[in-house]
Amino acid sequence: MLDKRPNKVSGRKPALSGQNWKVIVEAAVKVEDQSISLYTMALDNAKYPSSKVFLKELLEEEKHHKQKLEAILKDKSKMSQLGSGASEVQDLKIVDMLQDTPLSHEADYEAILVYAAKREKSTYDYYKTLALGLRGTAIEEIFSKLAQEELGHKNKLEREYDECVLSEN
């Protein structure tokens, strides 16, 4: 017999049809690849050991996101393992009003921090929009968790910017 109860009552979330979930997760892998490239370039250009440590930490977090997403592509049951379960992260909005500028290989640490924080905001917005568009599906929670993790990265970058750039001025 078919279960005609609403999902809210039954506790189950509907699955995405066909291969749609794979296309969405593959797109998320590409987003993480872009972040990995950004932090790799920034790490290569960083001058100070403390900056290198900070950027390496962010690079490893992005690699970890990518690995989890790729694991989901191989085994859909791994969806429940994605995300840190972190609570809501505060958006400090320190760099939100700063001018967008392209990032060059000659960029200084300040430019790298601003660019990276804006990139994390963009990634947060992307994942948050995906989660909202997938409301009520099994994959919604994955993108909600990823959105919070990306906002956490932005928060770290903005705190670093505050400590290294704003405190010096």
Q: Kindly state whether residue 99 falls inside one of the protein's structural domains.
A: no
**Average pLDDT score over residue span 139-165:** 92
**Average pLDDT score over residue span 107-126:** 93
| pLDDT > 70 fraction of the chain, expressed in percent and rounded | 84
| Separation CA 91–CA 10 (nearest Å) | 35
Q: Kindly state whether residue 74 falls inside one of the protein's structural domains.
A: yes
Q: Kindly state whether residue 7 falls inside one of the protein's structural domains.
A: no
Would the pLDDT of 48 be above 90?
no
What's the pTM? 0.83
Q: Kindly state whether residue 131 falls inside one of the protein's structural domains.
A: yes
**Residue 60 pLDDT:** 96
Q: Kindly state whether residue 78 falls inside one of the protein's structural domains.
A: yes
**Residue 25 pLDDT:** 92
More confident position, 104 or 119? 119
**Residue 56 pLDDT:** 95
* HSE toward the beta carbon, residue 103, CA cutoff 13 A: 20
Would the pLDDT of 125 be above 80?
yes
Residue 52 structural domain: 19-84+105-166
Residue 42: Cβ-neighbour burial (10 angstroms; 0-12, 13-18, 19+): buried
What band does 78 get if pLDDT is binned at 50, 70 and 90? confident
Mean pLDDT across the chain: 84
Q: What is the DSSP letter of 48?
A: S
The count of domains in the chain is: 1
| Separation CA 10–CA 18 (nearest Å) | 22
**Residue 2 pLDDT:** 34
Q: Kindly state whether residue 66 falls inside one of the protein's structural domains.
A: yes
**Residue 16 pLDDT:** 58
| Separation CA 145–CA 154 (nearest Å) | 14
Q: Kindly state whether residue 154 falls inside one of the protein's structural domains.
A: yes
How many C-beta neighbours within 10 Å does residue 75 have?
9
Question: Mind spelling out the 3-state secondary structure of 61-74?
Answer: HHHHHHHHHHHHHH
Count Cβ neighbours within 10 Å for each residue of 108-118 and write b for 16 or more, e otherwise: ebebbbbbbbb
CATH number of the domain within which 122 lies? 1.20.1260.10
Q: Kindly state whether residue 6 falls inside one of the protein's structural domains.
A: no
**Residue 33 pLDDT:** 97
